[in-house]
Amino acid sequence: MKRYETKPDQYTNTQNEENTILPILEEAQRIEGSGPRKKIIWSAMPKGTKYFAFFIIFVMLIFTLLLIISVLK
């Protein structure tokens, strides 16, 4: 029988049961094809994306600190 790349092999389990985060999300992960969350590898990211992510994280931290300071006054 000829196997096509777009059709899943019925004899192999492509989803590893240990990698699922929550059983509730298992079906959604299978439908999306995304699988479990992966760790971010900062060194593998392009410079522009990396700096943009650092900027967003920095802005969120600044806003959080300003919020804490304003609540404490």
Residue by residue, pLDDT tens for the chain (73 residues) are 556 666 655 555 555 545 556 777 777 777 777 666 678 787 888 999 889 999 999 999 999 999 999 998 8
What are the tokens at 10? 């019925």
- Ordered DSSP codes for 7-60: SPPTTS--S-GGG-S-GGGHHHHHHHT--S-----GGGS-HHHHHHHHHHHHHH
| DSSP H/E element including 4 | none
Using alpha carbons, select from 21, 51, 50 the residue that is nearest to residue 35.
21
Reported residue count of the chain is 73
What's the pLDDT at 45? 83
Does the pTM surpass 0.75? The reply is: no
